[in-house]
Amino acid sequence: MLRIVVKEGENIDRALKRYKRKFRNVKVLQELRERKQYTKPSVTRRAQIQKAAYKEQLFTEE
């Protein structure tokens, strides 16, 4: 559970921004989306290999 301590005199918008940043960094939403459906380990591995190959291609073109 995320906790944000709002300091005295702190703007509520700034505290909300800190909460959103913490929520994004914890990757809760990303994990929920991944768990919606099952993906086989081989499919996950294949996607990682394709992503790495794509990144490598981008770096070699420069």
Domain boundary assignment for the chain: 12-61
Q: Is the pLDDT of residue 62 over 80?
A: no
CA distances from 22 to 4, 32, 46, 53 (A): 9, 16, 30, 31
How many helices and strands, by DSSP H and E, does the chain display? 3, 0
Q: pLDDT tens digits for 21-61? A: 999 999 988 899 989 999 999 999 999 999 999 999 999 98
Confirm if 16 and 2 have CB atoms less than 8 A apart. Answer: no
